[in-house]
Amino acid sequence: MKKIFSIVATLALSVCSYAQLAWDKEMTKDDFNNDKTVISKSENVSYDNPTLGLGGGLKIGKIVINVLGFGQAPYNDECVIALSEVGIADSLFFEWQGASDGTVMAYQSTDHNNWSLIYSHEGNTISTYTEVRVALATNTRYLKFAATGKTAAAFRKIKVTELRSISAGTDEWPFGRAMVDDDEATKNVNITWTNIVAQVSSTDPHFSASLTTIGQKNLINQTTQLTIKYSHSEAGRHSGEIVIAGEGREARIAVSGETKKYDQSLTWAQDLGECTVTDILELNAYTTSGLDVVYETSDDRVAYADGNKVVVVCAGEVTLTATQPGNYKYNAANTVSKTLTVKKADPIIGVTVDEMTYGQTLSEAVIHETVGQVPGSFKWAGIDAQSVLDAGEYNLYLLFTPENECVYNQRTLPVALRINKATQTIIWDDQLTDLTVGVPVRSTAVLSSGLPITYAFTECLLSIEDDMIRPENEGEVTVVAYHPGNNNYLPTTVIMTVFTISPNPNVTTDAEQLTPQQLREAQKYMHEGKVFVSYNGHIYDADGKQMK
């Protein structure tokens, strides 16, 4: 790797060592030692620290010793420098000092033969450096520095600039007004250039140039026509610069223009007025440009826009605004606003109620929605839901409350309701059927409705009062328990039970009249509207007299 670097460095130095004096670069010691640059010099020419002053440079001449006219004659030395073969000379710059009692001179030549003096100075020794700038002929290829005198002259900061220039026929070009999408406007500008290749660019995309480069090396005072274009693809005020720049030179042309949009108007003659939540509204505003109208609502909770339709979501009042914001070609249109009142819709509902049975509360009713699919709930109107109605036919009302009350109204619906009579049953289990005269027992018969049970007897051997069976005479009797039904209950089936009544062994035959104490201890009961007393198996009247 080091070897490769060494070879490359050697080649680079080789190229530099054989180059002629480059444009716009100060002469160095390497240039002085390059026989392609310094092509001739006299004996007293070197490149080092001059005798007078500080810093390195080109030294011409020597100190001449002469006393009272005897000694060395004044020197007369010179150094010839070759300029680059490519390019055009512009100006020579240098600084000098020294050459007492002598002259410093500079010459130019196109062919190293015909020299023309371009600078000279005669006089006493100058102790400070004098700056010099000399315009060169454009075809100059050689320079000669010369000096005569008794002390050496020093030349430093020797530099030759190359002639390069570019300029525009105008530095500002305003375009007029135009409308969007008009054909692009053009302006022609002459660009004058010398010995340059320049790039053409624009600082604003609305402006462009017909050429991307202008110029050519080694030509003088050439003119190229540049067409500047202004595109009307976007409205607005536009400004920028067309820049022609290269090799340290540039020309700038300020450009400006205005592109305007077209106006448009919006018309919306539709009368919105009122609607219900379930309505579909199509809006018909239009613009002269043909661009789509944009609709907005003041409250999305009431309604929102979807294209050219309004989706209504809840009852209320909302403002609809029609706009057309414009685009690259059209300005925004005027806006038009309208007020829309949204009312709730009446839900389409059909309802029936299943038949019920006496004893059920209205809250147990089975309600069927036969028409409509609006979610909601029903409740009885004007009557308590815990009410139990007698059997019969009724015309009642249901109140329907929709789930979404901002969309639908409540509705009161008439409904027919039939209340059927309830069934009732008698259960007569675990009944004591072997009875003793004068010893009452409780009937175990139970009626599911809770109504009083009706009893019938095949023989009048006993009585049943307040569910108490009271045997009165011995024998066998069949008792029937049933209920005939009423306005709310159906009749029951008949339940029969056979009782056997035996005499009471504790009864005495001579007990005809109860004492007051015995009468108070006796059991009283009613039979056929009369009061009787049962005591020790005998039956007595209300006064305690034994019944025969």
Of residues 291 and 98, more confidence is placed in: 291
> Around 107, how many Cα atoms within 13 Å sit in the side-chain half-sphere?
18
Cβ burial of 410 (10 Å; 0-12, 13-18, 19+) is middle
The distance between the two most distant Cα atoms of the chain, rounded to a whole number of Å, is: 212
What pLDDT band is residue 123 in, cutting at 50, 70 and 90?
A: low
Equal fold, 266-343 vs 426-541: yes
Q: Apex CA 240: angle with CA 234 and CA 244, to 5°? A: 125
| Tokens representing residue 503 in the block | 């005499």
3-state DSSP assignment of residue 147: strand
Window from 71-80, 192-201, 399-408, 504-513 with minimum mean pLDDT: 504-513
Topology adopted by domain 350-420? Immunoglobulin-like (2.60.40)
This prediction's pTM? 0.57
The residue ranges of DSSP E strands in 26-125, in sequence order, are 38-41, 45-48, 57-60, 66-67, 70-71, 75-82, 89-98, 102-109, 116-123
Of residues 49 and 373, more confidence is placed in: 373
What pLDDT band is residue 51 in, cutting at 50, 70 and 90?
A: very low
Report whether pLDDT(2) > 50: no
| Tokens representing residue 387 in the block | 């009410």
What pLDDT band is residue 521 in, cutting at 50, 70 and 90?
A: confident
- Cβ neighbour number for residue 65 with a 10 Å cutoff: 9
Does residue 84 contact residue 161 with C-beta atoms inside 8 Å?
no
Of 3.30.200.20, 2.60.40.10, 2.30.30.240, 3.40.50.1100, the CATH number of 165-260 is: 2.60.40.10
Report whether pLDDT(17) > 50: no
Report whether pLDDT(450) > 80: yes
pLDDT at 511: 53
Residue 159 zone, left/alpha/beta (φ > 0; ψ -120 to 50; rest): beta
**Overall CATH class of domain 266-343:** mainly beta
**Residues 496-518 pLDDT 10s:** 999 999 998 765 544 577 877 77
CATH architecture, range 16-162: Sandwich (2.60)
What is the spatial distance between Cα 543 and Cα 541, in angstroms, rounded to a whole number? 5
Report whether pLDDT(478) > 80: yes
The average pLDDT across 266-282 equals 90
What pLDDT band is residue 273 in, cutting at 50, 70 and 90?
A: confident
What pLDDT band is residue 374 in, cutting at 50, 70 and 90?
A: confident
SS3 per residue for 389-421: CCCEEEEEEEEEEECCCCCECCEEEEEEEEEEC
Task: Identify the helix (H) or strand (E) that includes residue 446.
Answer: strand 446-447
Domain ranges (residues) in the chain: 16-162, 165-260, 266-343, 350-420, 426-541
Strands 89-98 and 102-109: unpaired
Computed over every residue of the chain, the mean pLDDT equals 89
| Tokens representing residue 170 in the block | 């105008």
pLDDT at 49: 53
What pLDDT band is residue 482 in, cutting at 50, 70 and 90?
A: very high
Task: Give the percent of the chain with pLDDT over 90.
Answer: 73
Radius of gyration of the chain (CA): 67
- Cβ neighbour number for residue 80 with a 10 Å cutoff: 20
Of 2.60.40.1380, 3.30.110.40, 3.20.20.150, 2.30.130.10, the CATH number of 426-541 is: 2.60.40.1380
pLDDT at 3: 35
